[in-house]
Every structure is written in C-alpha cells, then in structure tokens.
Amino acid sequence: MTLFRFTAAFLLLASSNVFAYDAPYAGTAPTIDGDANEPVWSNAKWANIDQLTLGTQPTPDDFSGRFKVVWTPQKLYFLAEIVDDILIDTHANPLKQYWEDDTLEIFLDQDLSGGNHLDNYNAFAYHIALDNQVVDHNQDGQPRLLNSHIESHWKRSSGQDNRIIWEASVDVYPDTFTDKDNTAKPVNLAADMKMGFMVAYCDSDGPQGREHFIGSYDIPAVNGDKNRGYIDASVFDTLTLIGPERGKTELKK
C-alpha cells in the first residue's frame, strides 16, 4: 500500500469515530416539564442514541432514542426522546445498582481535558433515574447523589408508541468541584466553548438488570470493552456552544 493510500485509509477509519454536536443558544430557557413544545427546541438538531456499548443490540420497539441540546449562559438543556417498551426501577435505594434500572446518562467534561474520572470530578457521568435522582462516583469511587446539579422531568407520549419525552437542565461544574468543599460554582457558559459530552441510556426490562447500554458515540474498544465512558473522558464526543448570530445564520440556510 502506498503512503497516500495508507494515510487516506487511516483518516477514513479515524473519521468514522468522530462526532461533534453544535448546541444553539437559547434566548429563553426551556421549561423542564417533559412537554418539549417550546420553539427553542426547533432550533436544535436531533442526534441519535444508537451505538451499542454493552449487552445486546435492542430492537427499535425495545429501545430507540435521540436527543437535542441548547444552552443559556447559566445551563445546558437536554431533550431526549426515548422509545422503551418497559420502564422499570427495581432498586429503591438510588445508590444501589442504579445502572441496572432504566436510566438516562449525561457525560460532561467541562474543559475537554479528557482522562480518568472514575474517582474524581475531572468529568461527570450523571446517571438520571426514573425518579429523577442523579448519581455519579465521588472521590472515593463510591456513588454519591448530585441532585443539585440537574433538574429533570419526563412524561409519556399521549400516543401508543411507548415514547417518553425527557428534559433536563444541567449546571456545568469545573473539575475543582470536590466532596468535602462544595464551594465550586457552575461555570458561566459562552459562545464557542467546547466540552466533552455523551448521552446514553441503560435499558432494563426486568429485575435481572440492564440488557442494553446504548450511547450517542461509537467508543473504540479497549481489549474488546467499549464501556469506557464512566472511566475515561477521552472517549467523549465534543459539544460546541453556538452563539446567537451564528445560529440565526445557519437556520436560514
């Protein structure tokens, strides 16, 4: 193979795992009520939650999902549309086996630094349960509630398609957040900021635990393991905050 062909093949392979999301500015923050009927959501594009990370590939009626993101200077806002034939939360204690229930996950790395975050706040892996409680690992590698970071609400569709609409507002914290001193404040968001992120869903249909773990990004496997998001922020996607003027221009195209 010539150097040119090798280089082209490498770039094609590398680009197949590249995903970036441009989140438009929201002049008015959406209400977190699970309705998604506000005009601000029409300014954002849909992205799929369709990459198998763990378990078996679900059928579309078992699980399918997609999401949108917008922002204000204070918060990120996520809208997820989930089709799930069985919604289940079998663990009453939100800190026990929370990943085995139906769970929406939002991964965030505020400064796009990548790297390990299993037992630190270099990045966050927010697990949002059906009762809207939020869990991530603390600095001892143990689960901790972080309900103050995220407000979420979901509703079932009025139709018969097993669809739910799940909205969440997220305070974006820097890696200076700690367990012992919570004086770290959410960062102020601004146009052209970039951060690491992913969206995922744990799909469980019974007390045996999750059958499928589906994400928004095709994570490169390490020794056959793609379930790396809760450990390594280097496998996250890139989220770019788009300013009001650029957003208006792109919508006209």
Amino acid 121: pLDDT: 96
86 vs 170, which has greater pLDDT? 170
Domains and CATH numbers, the chain: 20-252 (2.60.40.1190)
pLDDT in tens, 171-202: 999 999 999 877 789 999 999 999 999 999 99
d(CA 215, CA 106) in angstroms, rounded, equals 10
Amino acid 4: pLDDT: 33
124 vs 62, which has greater pLDDT? 124
Name the pairing type of β-strands 51-55 and 143-145: unpaired
Confidence of residue 160 (pLDDT cuts 50, 70, 90): low
d(CA 77, CA 40) in angstroms, rounded, equals 10
Residue in this structure with the two tokens 């056959």, named with its chain if needed: 224
What are the distances in angstroms from CA 250 to CA 36, 38, 190, 246?
22, 20, 18, 6
pLDDT(35) > 50: yes
Amino acid 17: pLDDT: 40
Please state, as a whole number, how many other Cβ atoms lie within 10 Å of the Cβ of residue 78.
25
Span 117-128, mean pLDDT? 97
Residues ≥6 apart with Cβ < 8 Å to 98: 91, 127, 129, 135, 143
Residues ≥6 apart with Cβ < 8 Å to 148: 171
Render 47-92 in DSSP notation, one character per residue: EEE-EEEEE-PPPTTTEEEEEEEEE-SS-EEEEEEEEES------S
- Indicate whether this model's pTM tops 0.75: yes
pLDDT(154) > 90: yes
